[in-house]
């Protein structure tokens, strides 16, 4: 029996990073120092963009952008119905009204054909989320935005380094933002970045970010210590000892999903928690510089893992693998499949030592928090049955083969996905043929 268990998430880190972190603390350059500016400049240069500002969180970078845009109070901002709840919550906090547009369940991204129907004379902006590392249909989104004179702010929190028709995400809209949380493409144990080519917006974003109080060296030490402990905790070596027994035990009682203990509680962010109002630190930027330098390499690894799954699962009738369009470069923050019985599949998988996540982002249009802005979004709701396979760059090739083997095994006896609908379409097709025949 293979004792190595594979957690649903893995943390990106560049070997040798810890030594530099310790050295920064020793030099007294954990809080302030030259790396912040260097990280901002390299990040901008990577994207061929003019201005970037680091922030305490990706969400705060977005908040600063919204305030910098100086929109009239009560302006409507279009969001995908499926996104991380904190993003529309930031708009609400900035005195704006989120409007939710349904997503295409095959891409998990905002459905561009549904945007126009949501536009009113109060609409000012569209915030497409490049969800799970997959770029949105930017040509169509930019066309609609230009036609209606709307500002586009891209949420690139899950998609740093992804490309749409050869062009990096975050370079299409008037502004964009990124996250450097532990699980994101560049991990600096928290933090975010705002990016724009508009000098005025950039100056107003910077003014807000630099107005925040500095983090203390002590709280930074805690941030890194906590980060390293969690990073080790979900590594195969340690996850085997705590996460796996816990999850496997829970799976026996049918109560196996631990994700609700991992993610932040959905609540009004009013007032902001104290950690939001902080300045980005030099030691985080040191780690960020290393992460940025390895971003393309890490993304290529995740992409290779994904390609292996797509090929290896192509004959599984109980599974639908993600659609990979040829004109985009997906970075696979998550690899999401649809399975005919996702809950049973993940329950069985954890007993084989492979941990799947069932759902991860929020159907914001149906959250209590956004009752006032509720919308009917069947596409977003249908994604709640999606299953995420571990695809992170830290996985070894042998881990990927193992996941593949487990997925095939646990879904092997399940009914084919969408059998009913294909039967139905066959019936309709027959009817059409028949009526066509009789007409002739
Ligand atoms: C992580 C994330 C954010 C916010 O990033 P923070 O740094 O946690 O504020 C925003 N949007 C999406 C889609 C995310 O996944």
Please tell me whether the peptide bond between 271 and the residue prior to it is cis, using omega within 30 degrees of 0.
Answer: yes
Q: How far is ligand 1, taken at its centre, from the CA of residue 157, in Å? A: 5
Average pLDDT, the chain: 90
Q: How far is ligand 1, taken at its centre, from the CA of residue 85, in Å? A: 9
175-179 vs 167-168, strand pairing mode? unpaired
Q: Give which of 90, 37, 38, 55 is closest to 278, Cα–Cα.
A: 55
Q: How far apart are CA 292 and CA 281, in angstroms?
A: 16
Q: Which atom of ligand 1 is nearest to the CA of 155?
A: 11
| Residue from 11, 57, 59, 82 to probe ligand 1 pocket by mutation (most atoms less than 8 Å from CB) | 59
- The tens place of each residue's pLDDT in the chain, 440 residues long, gives 566 788 888 899 999 999 999 999 999 999 999 999 999 999 999 999 999 999 999 999 999 999 999 999 999 999 999 999 999 999 999 999 999 999 999 999 999 999 999 999 999 999 999 999 999 999 999 999 999 999 999 999 999 999 999 999 999 999 999 999 999 999 999 999 999 999 999 999 999 999 999 999 999 999 999 999 888 887 777 777 666 676 776 666 655 555 555 678 899 999 999 999 999 999 999 999 999 999 999 999 999 999 999 999 999 999 999 987 889 999 999 999 999 999 899 889 988 889 888 777 899 999 999 999 999 999 999 998 899 999 999 999 999 999 999 999 999 999 998 754 444 333 333 333 333 333 33
193 with 53: CB under 8 angstroms?
Answer: yes
Domains and CATH numbers, the chain: 17-210 (3.40.640.10)
206 with 53: CB under 8 angstroms?
Answer: yes
- 8-30 pLDDT, tens digit per residue, is 888 999 999 999 999 999 999 99
Take atom 6 of ligand 1 and give the residue whose Cα is closest.
Answer: 58
Radius of gyration of the chain measured on its C-alpha atoms: 22
| Residue from 136, 182, 184 to probe ligand 1 pocket by mutation (most atoms less than 8 Å from CB) | 184
Q: How far is ligand 1, taken at its centre, from the CA of residue 89, in Å? A: 12
Q: How far apart are CA 236 and CA 315, in angstroms?
A: 29
Q: How far is ligand 1, taken at its centre, from the CA of residue 276, in Å? A: 13
Query: What pLDDT sits at residue 417?
Result: 85
Take atom 3 of ligand 1 and give the residue whose Cα is closest.
Answer: 157
Q: How far is ligand 1, taken at its centre, from the CA of residue 427, in Å? A: 44
Query: What pLDDT sits at residue 257?
Result: 54
Q: Which atom of ligand 1 is nearest to the CA of 333?
A: 15
Q: Which atom of ligand 1 is nearest to the CA of 192?
A: 7
132 with 336: CB under 8 angstroms?
Answer: yes
Q: Give which of 370, 374, 386, 375 is closest to 87, Cα–Cα.
A: 370
Residue in this structure with the two tokens 């993610």, named with its chain if needed: 263
**Which residues line ligand 1 at a C-beta cut-off of 6 Å?**
57-59, 83-84, 86-87, 129, 155, 157-158, 179, 181, 184, 192
Determine the distance from the C-alpha atom of residue 205 to the mean position of all C-alpha atoms in its chain, rounded to a whole number: 23
Residue 219's CB: how many other CB atoms inside 10 A?
14
Take atom 14 of ligand 1 and give the residue whose Cα is closest.
Answer: 157
| Residue from 158, 159, 186 to probe ligand 1 pocket by mutation (most atoms less than 8 Å from CB) | 158
Q: How far is ligand 1, taken at its centre, from the CA of residue 47, in Å? A: 19
Q: How far is ligand 1, taken at its centre, from the CA of residue 58, in Å? A: 6
| Residue from 62, 79, 87 to probe ligand 1 pocket by mutation (most atoms less than 8 Å from CB) | 87
Q: How far is ligand 1, taken at its centre, from the CA of residue 31, in Å? A: 23
In 8-132, which residue ranges form alpha helices assigned H by DSSP? 17-27, 35-47, 58-69, 86-93
């Amino acid at each position: 029996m293979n004792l190595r268990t594979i957690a649903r998430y893995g943390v990106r880190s560049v070997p040798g990073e810890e030594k530099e972190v310790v050295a920064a603390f020793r030099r007294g350059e954990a809080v302030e120092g030259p790396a912040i500016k260097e990280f901002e400049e390299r990040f901008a240069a990577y994207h061929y963009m003019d201005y970037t500002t680091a922030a305490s969180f990706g969400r705060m970078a977005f908040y600063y952008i919204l305030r910098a845009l100086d929109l009239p109070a009560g302006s409507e901002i279009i969001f995908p119905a499926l996104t991380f709840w904190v993003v529309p919550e930031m708009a609400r906090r900035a005195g704006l009204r989120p409007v939710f547009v349904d997503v295409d369940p095959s891409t998990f991204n905002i459905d561009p054909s549904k945007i126009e129907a949501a536009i009113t004379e109060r609409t000012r902006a569209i915030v497409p989320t490049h969800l799970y590392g997959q770029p949105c249909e930017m040509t169509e989104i930019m066309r609609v935005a230009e036609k209606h004179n709307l500002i586009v702010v891209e949420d690139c929190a899950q998609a740093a380094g992804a490309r749409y028709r050869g062009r990096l995400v975050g370079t299409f809209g008037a502004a964009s933002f990124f996250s450097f949380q532990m699980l994101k493409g560049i991990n600096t144990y928290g933090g975010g970045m705002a990016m724009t080519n508009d000098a005025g917006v950039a100056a107003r974003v910077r003014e807000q970010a630099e107005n925040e109080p500095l983090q203390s060296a002590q709280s930074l030490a805690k941030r890194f210590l906590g980060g390293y402990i969690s990073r080790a905790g979900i590594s195969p070596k340690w996850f085997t000892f705590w996460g796996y027994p816990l999850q496997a035990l829970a799976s026996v009682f049918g109560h196996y999903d631990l994700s609700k203990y991992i993610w932040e509680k959905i609540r009004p962010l009013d007032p902001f928690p104290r950690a939001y109002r902080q300045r980005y630190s030099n030691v985080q930027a040191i780690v960020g510089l290393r992460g940025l330098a390895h971003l393309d390499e890490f993304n290529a690894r995740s992409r290779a893992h994904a390609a292996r799954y797509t090929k290896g699962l192509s004959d599984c009738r109980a599974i639908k693998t993600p659609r990979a369009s040829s004109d985009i470069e997906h970075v696979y923050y998550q690899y999401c499949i649809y399975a005919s019985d996702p809950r049973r599949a993940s329950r069985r998988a954890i007993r084989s030592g492979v941990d799947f996540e069932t759902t991860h982002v929020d159907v914001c249009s149906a959250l209590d928090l956004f009752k006032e802005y509720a919308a009917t979004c069947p596409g977003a709701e249908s994604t709640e049955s999606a299953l995420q396979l571990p695809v992170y760059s830290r996985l070894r090739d042998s881990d990927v083969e193992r996941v593949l083997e487990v997925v095939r095994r646990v879904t092997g006896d399940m009914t084919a996905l969408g059998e009913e609908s294909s039967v139905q379409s066959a019936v309709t097709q027959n009817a059409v043929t028949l009526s066509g025949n009789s007409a002739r």
